[in-house]
Amino acid sequence: EPRNRFLQMALNIAPVNAQPFVEGRRLHHTDFSDGSHSEPGNPLFTAHANKLGPNYISRSCIACHTQNGRGLPPAVNTTLGNYVVKVGRVSGSTVTADPFIGFRLQPRSTSGTPEADVRIASWTTSTGTFADGTPYELRKPNFSFLNVTPTNHSARITPQLVGLGLLEAIPETAVAALADPNDTNGDGISGRMQAVVDPETGQTRLGRFGWKAGIARLKHQVAEALNRDIGVTNAVFPTLDCGPSQQGCSGSSQELNATDLDKMVRYVALLGVPARRDLRDTQAQRGETLFQSAGCAKCHATSLTTSAFHPNAELRGQTIRPYTDLLLHDMGAGLADNLPEGIASGAEWRTPPLWGIGLTAGVSGGEAYLHDGRARSLTEAILWHGGEGQAARNAFAGMNAADRAALLRFLQTL
């Protein structure tokens, strides 16, 4: 059942967390407008009906995170229902809310005219050839806006959800040990730690979630998505995302209580990461060697160890292989947008984890990689790497067909 690979609980889940996990799953699948469940045969969850909006992107978590996997770009000129389009006004290093949208474009409304709409108007294609003469084609989206055109924006497609609890459990010291902001070792890689303010404590912490690592804790990631993507307020984010000139969007409340938020966080934190497959496949083994020699592992760090202090015992003291360093890297002008986030420039992106990437097609029903879903294959995703990823990209482009196939085979086993 390939579509269900990202729906399983961690195999070491504690009995005390099994019930919160399934209750969190229930909320994850709940439509916050009418209380319906995404899977047929389930009764209405009336306690959570009528909490949607007034402005929103989707009506439930599962509507964007289909099967908990990566999103796919919709057809041209249709509303982006599984993207987050962050917006703002940039002045120097300061980003303020768009006057009519806030910090996030929400293309749907429970009543009246939505604040704005955003669509992929077209795709721009470009072509090239590998060193052995094999041709390839790349594409990038062109976005169009209706009602309000934001001055600065960043479109980000739905990421997969598995493994987030383990990423949260990695000590900040371990990430700091991988950082090299001034490239003191001269290898061309200068990963930087994102710094974010904890909305509950005011402390500055390592950002580790989101395409630009703009959020430190999984609780805050879930709470912000509820608020800004679905319009459901909570104790962490009690105020709706509104621009200073936006009408009919104001006030504070707590529609989802702390207990239910905790259940949703436990659900996401304790989703099981699928095991790597085909460990004895000789082509994949060769691909793993090529992955290292090409320099991919300089950002996609192969092994990390979680701390002994995460609140969930299931996540403590584990050696994991997420293939990320959780750091920001300049990926070049080709992948840049015009909206900075924290210390991240438009060209800087957090290294996305690669575990589970070989299951993408089965879970999502197709493939779309990178922050805006432009890459239709792993090959295209690699070829878009610029900036600090340019050398690894060039190494891949310089391989013969057999070596490229081996490296891709390795990625498919993750």
pLDDT tens digits, 361-411: 999 999 999 999 999 999 999 999 999 999 999 999 999 999 999 999 999
**Amino acid 2: pLDDT:** 93
What are the CA-CA distances from residue 167 to residues 162, 193, 267, 313 (Å)? 10, 14, 15, 14
Residue 248 CB neighbours (<10 A): 12
Would you say the C-alpha torsion 110, 115, 120, 122 has a positive or negative sign? positive
**Amino acid 248: pLDDT:** 82
pTM of the model: 0.96
| pLDDT surpasses 90 at 218 | yes
Cis geometry, peptide bond prior to residue 54 (ω within 30 degrees of 0): yes
The radius of gyration of the chain's CA atoms, rounded to the nearest angstrom, is 21
155-214 per-position pLDDT tens digit: 999 999 999 999 999 999 999 999 999 999 999 999 999 999 999 999 999 999 999 999
Count of alpha carbons within 13 angstroms of residue 339, beta-carbon side: 20
Calpha distance 286→220 (Å, rounded)? 40
**Amino acid 72: pLDDT:** 97
| pLDDT surpasses 90 at 298 | yes
Residue pair 86/341 in contact (Cβ under 8 Å)? The answer is yes
**Amino acid 93: pLDDT:** 80
105-121 per-position pLDDT tens digit: 999 999 999 999 999 99
**Amino acid 92: pLDDT:** 84
Strand partners, 85: 155
Q: Strand locations in 50-189, DSSP E?
A: 55-56, 83-91, 94-96, 108-109, 117-129, 135-146, 152-157
| pLDDT surpasses 90 at 26 | yes
Q: How confident is the model at residue 247 (pLDDT cuts 50, 70, 90)?
A: confident
Residue pair 249/137 in contact (Cβ under 8 Å)? The answer is no
Calpha distance 91→241 (Å, rounded)? 20
Strand partners, 350: 328
Q: Which percentage of the chain shows pLDDT scores above 90? A: 97
136-171 per-position pLDDT tens digit: 999 999 999 999 999 999 999 999 999 999 999 999
| pLDDT surpasses 90 at 251 | no
Calpha distance 399→402 (Å, rounded)? 8
DSSP code string of 306-321: --S--SSGGGTT-EE-
Averaged confidence pLDDT in the chain: 97
Mean of the pLDDT values across residues 1-30?
Answer: 97
What are the CA-CA distances from residue 58 to residues 54, 82, 97, 223 (Å)? 11, 8, 21, 15
**Residue 95 corresponds to which tokens in the numbers above?**
């980003």
Give me the helix-helix angle, 258-269 and 15-28, nearest 10°: 100
Residue 280, sorted as left (phi over 0), alpha (psi -120 to 50) or beta, turns out to be alpha
**Amino acid 249: pLDDT:** 86
Of 74, 39, 88, the C-alpha closest to 342 is 88
- 332 burial via Cβ count (<10 Å: 0-12, 13-18, 19+): middle
**Residue 39 corresponds to which tokens in the numbers above?**
């899977």
Residue 86 CB neighbours (<10 A): 26
**Amino acid 250: pLDDT:** 80
Q: How confident is the model at residue 226 (pLDDT cuts 50, 70, 90)?
A: very high
